[in-house]
Structure 1
Amino acid sequence: MAEVHHIHNQDPNAGAEQRKLIWKTFWILSAITSLEFLIAFTMNHGILKVSIFIILTIVKAFYIVGEFMHLKHETKSLIWSILVPVIFVAWLILALLLEGNAIFKAIFG
């Protein structure tokens, strides 16, 4: 019969730094999400509200990628090679939304 080996961690403080980092990440993401909810229910719909949501979503995405995919420890050139295309895609989406709205108002307005 196969032997069963139990691994017991001798140090009760092992992993304390990781748990601290996980809780810090939890509170930061919770604060940003709470801010998004506050803005969603208090601001009037408009370009400012949409822009704030896009910016906060990008901030959360980069924080998640940096923490959980460990990209914050990578070289700056890798970070910029990821950051620049995302900025252009966000700009493209915003531009398409604005132009689509303007065309819709011109045709049906």
Structure 2
Amino acid sequence: MGQHESNTKLIWQVFGFLSIVTIVEVILGIIKPHGLHFTNFLGTSLLNWIFIILTLVKAAGIMWYFMHMNHERKNFVNSIILPLIILIPYLVTLLLIEGHYIHEVMGSYINWKY
């Protein structure tokens, strides 16, 4: 085929990986293991941290393969990745702080079911 070889195998491998990560997320969301759900770590449960990390892994995989970042120049990739390394922890921190605040303020009005 020359320069443009088929990437069908790679696409199926990435699809399989993303599917497995999604299935793990769904299973964890359904069963909510007690040891993960009720263990507090850095402002939220370990289960939430697992969801955050798995979501970031999926986003990186989609960006790397389906947005063709693996074929770009290193400087261009760094100009996209480095701001995300700063922005994502900042946004996660804001979500955790605001979520905790809302839980404390609204806690007496809402029956939070765990």
Normalising by structure 1, report the TM-score. 0.69
- Following the alignment from structure 2 to structure 1, what is the Cα–Cα distance between the partners of residues 53 and 101? 19
Separation of aligned partners in 1, 2:106 and 2:18? 36
Aligned length: 96
- 2:90 corresponds to which residue? 88
* Identity level (%): 28
Q: What's the offset of the Cα at 1:103?
A: 2.2
What displacement does 1:49 show? Answer: 2.6
Cα deviation digits, residues 23-51 of structure 1 (max 9, x gap): 11011101101101110111155533333
Q: Quick one: structure 1 residues 22 and 36, their matched pair in 2 at CA, closer, same or farther if it must change by over 3 Å?
A: same
Distance of aligned partners of 1:51 and 1:64 in 2 relative to their CA distance in 1, 3 Å threshold: same
User: Is there any run of 5+ residues in structure 1 with no aligned partner, and where?
Assistant: 1-10
Equivalence for 2:23: 34
Query: What runs of 5+ residues in structure 2 fail to find an aligned partner?
Result: 39-44
Distance 2:89 2:68 in 1: 20
The correspondence of residues 46-61 of structure 1 with structure 2, limited to 5 A, is 47-61=45-59
Partner of 1:70: 68
Return the index of the structure with the highest Cα Rg.
1
Residues 85 and 27 from structure 1, CA distance in 2 versus in 1: closer, same or farther, beyond 3 angstroms? same
Greater mean deviation of Cα atoms: 49-58 or 61-70: 49-58
In the other structure, the counterpart of 1:4 is none
Q: CA deviation at 1:95?
A: 2.0
Which fold has the larger relative contact order, with Cα–Cα distance below 8 Å and residues 6 or more apart in sequence?
A: 2
Q: Map Cα deviations across residues 55-76 of structure 1 (whole Å, 9 max, x no partner).
A: 2112111211111112344436
Letter in 1 for 2:82: W
Q: RMSD of aligned C-alpha atoms?
A: 2.6
